[in-house]
Amino acid sequence: MTEEIIIAGFGGQGVLSMGKILAYSGVMQNQEVTWMPSYGPEMRGGTANVTVIVSDERISSPIVHQYDTAIILNQQSMDKFEKTVKTGGILLFDPNGITHPPKRTDIKIFAIDGVEEATRMGNPKTFNMIVLGAYLKIKPVVKTENVEKGLRKSLPERHHKLIPMNIDAIKLGMEKVKEFSL
| Residue 11 within binding range of other proteins, rule CB under 8 A | no
Options 45, 62, 124, 164; binder of other proteins; rule CB under 8 A: 62
Amino acid at 173: G
CB of 165 to other proteins, least distance (A): 23
| Residue 32 within binding range of other proteins, rule CB under 8 A | yes
| Residue 169 within binding range of other proteins, rule CB under 8 A | no
Amino acid at 44: R
* Residues 105-164, interacting with other proteins (CB under 8 A): 153-154
DSSP per-residue letters across 68-108: EEEEE-SHHHHHHHGGGEEEEEEEEE--TT-SS----SSSE
CB of 154 to other proteins, least distance (A): 8
Stretch that binds other proteins, among 54-62, 86-94, 116-124, 131-139 (CB under 8 A): 54-62
Q: How far is CA 158 from CA 18, 150, 162, in A?
A: 19, 15, 9
